[in-house]
Amino acid sequence: MPDPVQVEEAGGILTITINRPEVRNAINLAVAQGVAAALDRLETRTDLMVGIITGAGDTFSAGMDLKAFVRGERPGLPGRGLAGICEAPPRKPMIAAVEGWALAGGFEIALACDLIVASTSARFGLPEVKRGLVAAAGGLLRLPRRLPPHVAMELALTGDPISAEDGYRLGLVNRLTEPGQALAGARELAGRITTNGPLAVAVSKRILTESVDWPTGEAFGRQAPLVAAVLDSADAREGATAFAEKRAPVWTGR
């Protein structure tokens, strides 16, 4: 039986592929375990800077494997949530490369990522209410931060999908590609990130993510020690030196 999660490394980018196309990449426990192991690799390896998650074939993911659920299997991990990512995204940037449908838990995986690259054939939806369920793997928590609140409310209450084109227009999708090219587009975007200082990228993501909940009067104070650690790093000195010497920087992540 093929591995339910495939992992590739190239150029500082870790690509995670949910590999169950015969069931529209539905998420079971094996997928959750495979994704979690891949994310651990991303987090601990200094030579890996950006992660991409995608689905095999023409579907990103149809969400939880309902047949496995009926058998008593849960497609999440304690502290990490659905698919091993929804409750605890990695510290490093994650890009979702979406072809076809990203439904229910599949959409929630994409929402757990920092950036979304989607082909024009992609569709996103939280249809849980149509089945008497609730999008509890982060969909209801993250969607209002990625779309205008009233648009998010309509999607959550009707369960109707949104097209990639509308998602792009509303800011949900970062980049559109031709069908079949979402992964290539995600890798191009990831490559632009990997040319930058890894410490600066990681801290920038952290501040952008956490500052949403910071009181306005405390924001600069909370940011200061995070920025100071970057300014005191060898990478910061290397970036300035490389600029002065008109060459590409050589990052060490320190």
Active site residues: 108, 128
Nearest of 112, 154, 156 to residue 134 by alpha carbon: 156
Cα separation, 146 vs 11, whole angstroms: 29
Q: What share of the chain is helix, strand, coil (3-state, %, to 5)?
A: 45, 20, 35
Q: How far is CA 166 from CA 112, 117, 179, in A?
A: 19, 13, 16
Cα separation, 48 vs 135, whole angstroms: 31
50-55, strands of its sheet edge to edge: 5-10, 13-18, 50-55, 94-98, 115-119, 175-177
Nearest of 66, 68, 82 to residue 33 by alpha carbon: 82
Lookup result for tokens 């992609």: 122
Q: How far is CA 250 from CA 10, 136, 213, 215, in A?
A: 17, 42, 34, 37
What lies within 8 Å, CB to CB, of 251 at 6+ separation is: 197, 198, 235, 238
